[in-house]
Structure 1
Amino acid sequence: MAQQISPSILAADFAHLADEAAAVADTADWLHVDVMDNHFVPNLTLGLPIVAALHKSAALPLDCHLMIEDPDRWAPGYAEAGAGSVTIHAEAARSPVRTLREIRAQGARAGLALNPATPVEGYTDLIGEVDMLLLMTVEPGFGGQKFLDMVLPKIRRTRALIDGSGVSVRLQVDGGVSAETIERCAEAGADVFVAGSSVYGAENPAAAVTALRAQAEAAAR
């Protein structure tokens, strides 16, 4: 699969989200939206009304990452609001199969996220229910954190599980992805990269996306 870049608006200027989305529209594949509720993670960001508004104004499909309690209740609503991808956390979902199927039924890509300490092996039976597995490469809750190298072996194991399943599933990494770390992630088997500070902290966000993609493609060959 082609490498994809999903810039995270968590690192963008929240007062000008439409402009920040437009800044990467010509070079990125997705626009990553971190939804945090100050319960599942110790931070509060944005919710369904902002996602619905972004869907109307952003050219890129929205890649919604729900770091919230009770995603079984809320996740389908994000797909209904127009998100192209909705990812729930395995640690928070009580009925993941049902919720993932409801997300797909609304026409969105269904994703399952795992925290750094959560083994992927406990979720191999769900591979057929997802379009994407997201591996956190930092502890969720805040942007700008340092990449956790301890997750690299897990990325490799997850890639092997996906390849052995015969199912087409994307492998996304989120946290600390930058020019210094993206090649290691791509070499380990990731093919979708969430990049926040390394994109929106750059002087030219669009150029930063292009440069990150080139690194990932070269490392994945």
Structure 2
Amino acid sequence: MALAIAPSFMSANLLHVEDEIRALEPIADFFHVDIIDWHYVKNMCLTPQFIRAMHSATTVPIDAHLYVDNVDDELVQLCLDSGAGIITMPADVIGRSVHRFAHRIHSAGALVGIFLNPSQPVETVLPYAEVIDHLLLMSVDPGFGGQDFIPATYDRIRTACNLRKNLGLNYRIVIDGNCNADRFHSLAEAGADALCLGRGLFDCDPDTRRAGELTAQAINAINAELNRR
């Protein structure tokens, strides 16, 4: 599987969202939108209404990453109605209701994502791994950009790969947190399938289109190398 690119709009220029979308559509496999409620972590960012506005301007799938302390049916449905094609929920919040949420999301034709913070074992998802489409591993503590990448992430990726193989599943392994060009190759080697890219993309060049092109060039070169093996 080729390493996929998910530009993270937490780092986008929110004064020019449609321009950012147009600049990144050619290289984006999906867009990543952080919804942060001030309770799960002490930060706030974006909303389902933001996803609705993005969805009206693009056909690229949108991932609603819910850093939310009270995930409920109403919020999940609002994200679906707003156009999210992937709903990524915190494992430490939704464990008791994950099958109900997964049924609602899959019935709407969307994908189920679960995210694990660095302190949570990958094996946390074992009881419901069969309903997951995206397994997102945080490579920093949740909620804030610019944190140091946690090196143990590489082992966690390998654990997620082994779990997927042993269970005969096909969820996509997504990495989120300080993924930059210096780490792309190591992340791909470890088994990552997709990278959520904030500053690791947007800081490549002041022009977002050029930043996207540079990022895609780097990842395409890695994909070509891995495919030759």
Q: Pick the TM interval, shorter chain.
A: over 0.9
Are the aligned partners of 1:198 and 1:208 in contact in 2 as well (CA < 8 Å)?
Answer: no
Worse-matched range after superposition: 199-208 or 179-188: 199-208
C-alpha distance in 2, partners of 1:148/1:219?
A: 24
Q: Does 1:38 align with 2:44?
A: no
Match of 1:87, as an amino acid? T
**Distance in 1 of aligned mates of 2:2 and 2:35:** 26
Paired residues, number: 221
| 1:114 and 2:116 matched | yes
AA aligned to 1:176 is N
For 1:10, the aligned partner's letter is: M
The percentage of counterpart residues that share the same residue type is: 33
- Which amino acid in the other structure matches residue 153 of structure 2? V
- Larger CA Rg, structure 1 vs 2: 2
Question: What is the rounded CA distance, in whole Å, between the counterparts of 1:181 and 1:75 in structure 2?
Answer: 33
Secondary structure at the residue paired with 1:194? strand
Q: 1:207 aligns with which of 193, 210, 213?
A: 213
- 8 Å CA contact 1:41–1:140 kept in 2: the answer is yes
**Take 2:54 and 2:181, find their aligned partners in 1: how far apart are those partners?**
27
Do the aligned partners of 2:157 and 2:191 also contact (CA within 8 Å) in 1? yes
Map 1:54-93 → 2, pairs under 5 A? 54-73=54-73, 74-93=75-94
In the alignment, does 2:154 pair up with 1:185? no
Any stretches of 5+ residues in structure 1 without a counterpart? Answer: none
Residue identity in the other structure for 2:84: A
Out of 134, 137, 151, the residue aligned to residue 135 of structure 1 is: 137
The answer as to whether partners of 2:204 and 2:215 remain within 8 angstroms in 1 is no
Q: TM-score under structure 2 normalisation?
A: 0.91
Q: Which amino acid aligns with 2:120?
A: T
Letter in 2 for 1:71: V
* Aligned AA (2:38): N
TM-score (norm 1): 0.94
Residue type at the aligned position of 2:196: V
SS of equivalent residue, structure 2 residue 204: coil
